[in-house]
Amino acid sequence: MTQEATARAHPNIAFIKYWGNQDEQLRIPVNSSLSMNLEGLYTETMVNWDHRLTQDSLIINSVEQSGDALKRVQTHLSALRNHIDGIEGHAKVISYNNFPMGVGIASSASSFAALTLAAVSASGQQLSESTLSSLARLGSGSASRSIPTGFVEWHKGVSHETSYAESIATPDFWDLVDVIAVVSNTHKKVGSTEGHQSANTSDLQLARIANAEKRLQDCKEALLHKDFHSFATVVEEDSNLMHSIMMTSRPPLFYWQPTSIELMHLIPEWRHEGLDVCYTLDAGPNVHCICNRIHAEEVSRRVRNISGVLDVKSAGAGRGAYLL
């Protein structure tokens, strides 16, 4: 017997970042985080459980995968087999991404959210959103935030069941746009899984964690009051703090490129000129310019004029993971 389902999920951009784990195996983070799903960018994944298969296989964008990508998906499917009753055999996974992977747009978030939802549904199970979010987290921490809709808070929790994400506002609550300045198209050398593991080697990590909850509350309040100025201040500070950890870890991680820094100088100036825009960067050099939709076109125009910017992508707030 074979069972099949297809799901779609969006990546998300964190306003308050996740960096470092309490439990590496279960990806239980040291701090809670806050994000927005990105509409328009997506991963679509079909999972077919087949009791005749002797191992899991993976195709991404029409290319049969082997090595690390396949191993990570197989590990996740094994975790799902352990957590869910009634899955028989192995899976054939066919996935499609409509945006570049491994360059600071969280493709692992949308990939593991879509994979989890499709794999669970194909097994015939119906699980709660928080359970799906916890399961997605096992594949990639930030994937937990791509399960619920719109603006999302991931409660760090203390165990597998208590570490999950939930929506704090629907996508239409605040008309924010992420104007993504693509500064590099090359695959990053050190991925976030490795980065999380070295976060505790930075002398600054304890200081970052100490105030993470306060920043999250400030960010959430600014978001729920649509107070762009307060929002911008805490979002930029939190991104700078995470990159300070990266740069002071052993070995150090430098994700910024000259164009990233150029934009980090310009964006606060644009804000002083009256544009509602702020920056945040993930584990890559691309700059996410978070702005009010009324200013998105102007921000996009200015970003395109910078010589080191290779491409610009724009995404509003998106929904959670869903079945097709």
> Which residues bind to ligand PMV, rule: CB under 6 A?
14, 17-19, 33, 106, 108-109, 140-142, 192-193, 196, 282-283
Residues 6+ apart with CB under 8 A from 79: 135, 138, 139
DSSP collapsed to 3 states, 16-32: ECCCCEEECCCCEECCC
> Where are any strands of DSSP class E within the chain?
2-9, 12-16, 21-23, 28-29, 33-37, 43-50, 57-60, 63-64, 90-97, 151-155, 164-169, 176-182, 277-280, 287-292, 311-316, 322-323
- The smaller minimum CB distance to ligand PMV, of residues 33 and 259, is found at 33
What is the nearest approach in angstroms of ligand PMV to the Cβ of residue 282?
Answer: 4
Cis, bond preceding 251 (omega within 30 deg of 0): yes
The Cα–Cα gap between 33 and 156 comes to 8
Shortest Å distance, C-beta 309 to ligand PMV: 20
Min dist. Cβ of residue 35 to ligand PMV (A): 7
User: Is there a contact between 11 and 284 (Cβ–Cβ < 8 Å)?
Assistant: no
Residue 124 C-beta: closest distance to ligand PMV, Å:
28
CB of 20 to ligand PMV, least distance (A): 10
Nearer to ligand PMV, 65 or 193 (CB): 193
Q: Which is nearer to ligand PMV, 141 or 171 (CB)?
A: 141
Kindly tell me which of 90 and 196 has the beta carbon lying closer to ligand PMV: 196
Residue 245 and residue 199 in contact, taking contact as beta carbons nearer than 8 Å: yes
Q: Are 235 and 290 in contact (CB under 8 A)?
A: yes
**Identity of the residue, 87 or 117, whose beta carbon is nearer to ligand PMV in the bound complex:** 117
Nearer to ligand PMV, 64 or 194 (CB): 194
CB 123 within 8 A of CB 19: no
Q: How far is the CB of 78 from ligand PMV (least distance, A)?
A: 18
Q: Which is nearer to ligand PMV, 214 or 304 (CB)?
A: 214
- Which CB, 192 or 300, lies closer to ligand PMV? 192
Of 192 and 202, the one with the shorter C-beta distance to ligand PMV is 192
Kind of pairing between the strands at 43-50 and 33-37:
unpaired
238 and 15 Cβ atoms separated by less than 8 Å: yes
Structure tokens at 202: 């930075």
Least distance in angstroms from the C-beta of 86 to ligand PMV: 28
Strand partners, 177: 291, 316
Minimum CB–partner distance for residue 212 and ligand PMV (Å): 11
Q: How far apart are CA 194 and CA 21, in angstroms?
A: 11
Q: Smallest distance, Å, CB 284 to ligand PMV?
A: 8
Q: What is the largest CA-CA distance in the chain?
A: 63
Q: Edge-to-edge strands of the sheet including 164-169?
A: 12-16, 33-37, 151-155, 164-169
